[in-house]
Amino acid sequence: MRVKFFRTITVAFAALTGAVGVQAQAADWTVGANIGNVPWEFQDASGAYVGFEIDLVNEAAKRLGKSVEIVNIPFNGLFSAVQSSRIDMAISSITITDKRLESVSFAQPYYDSDQSLTVLSKSGITNLEGLGGKSVGVDTGSTGDMWAAKNAQTYKIAEIRRFEGLQPAMLDLAAARLDGYISDIPALLYYTKDKPQFKVVQRIPTGERYSVMLAKDSPLLGPVNEQIGAMKKDGTLAALHEKWFGAKPEAGTSTVEPLDIPKKKS
């Protein structure tokens, strides 16, 4: 009864304050993320958004005295959302590329990565050469999508199917509706570590680096970049790497080395 009474008062108060024009204060930063992209941004058992990049952006905001709202957006939609200023920035293991730098800006990179091929352990596929006549899944608009499209003929891939994130792709792979899945290697190593039915069978070298994506020349670019650099110098990013990947970052990687804001190569 006490709980019910309290809830009634709360609802009544919310209705009253809404009627006189009092609204909850909006967050300073609206950050888009493709939730379900482990271990970068996903939901824990309680439904809270957690992950390496969630921690990173929250820490940067905290240091600048800002509040954050995380908005779940499919990966391919993050680009238009940033460009149209519907969101202030985006995270989701987004690779910095010259093509992307034509229309958006990135803060300094904080993770070095590659793509990978994941299959069912019982499939008999052991490398990319085993994809002849097979179907592969990719994340729509990702570097894995671009790699697969470019190399489909080389490896005689019969079909490329596009998904909005890791979870639906892995469900189809588990049901054998796909023969393989090409995506970021850290996400797949994390996802499959306790799932013996899956196996990451090949790293695909692409030399990718991830960072926060913002609108072209956004006024937030400098402050966000500065805080990422500070987190490298004081060991915060190294601690996040150890928290989410179970190991310290390698020396010389972008997780520990302060770097400049990326510029498009001329």
Q: What is the pLDDT of residues 22-71, one digit of tens each?
A: 345 789 999 999 999 999 999 999 999 999 999 999 999 999 999 999 99
C-alpha distance from residue 228 to each of 60, 98, 203 (Å): 7, 21, 27
- In the numeric block, the tokens 């402050």 are attached to 223
CATH 3.20.20.60 holds for 113-208: no
Angle made by CA atoms 239, 241, 242, in degrees to the nearest 5: 65
Where do you find CATH 3.40.190.10 in the chain?
A: 29-110+211-245, 113-208
Place of tokens 């013996």: 196
Q: Examine the pLDDT at 74 and tell me if it is beyond 50.
A: yes
pTM reported for the whole predicted model: 0.83
Confirm if 110 and 255 have CB atoms less than 8 A apart.
yes
Closest CA to 30 of 176, 248, 214: 214
Bridge partners of residue 13, in order along the sequence: none
> Could you report the per-residue pLDDT of 87-132, keeping only the tens digit for each?
999 999 999 999 999 999 999 999 999 999 999 999 999 999 999 9
Strands (E), the chain: 29-33, 42-43, 49-50, 68-72, 89-91, 104-106, 111-120, 135-139, 159-163, 180-184, 198-210, 213-215
pLDDT tens digits, residue range 224-261?
999 999 999 999 999 999 999 988 999 999 999 999 99
> 7-42: b or e for each residue (b if 16 or more CB lie within 10 Å)?
eeeeeeeeeeeeeeeeeeeeeebbbbbbbbbbbbbb
Taking each helix axis from N to C terminus, what angle separates 221-233 and 236-245, rounded to the nearest 10 degrees?
A: 80
Answer whether CATH 3.40.1160.10 is correct for domain 29-110+211-245: no
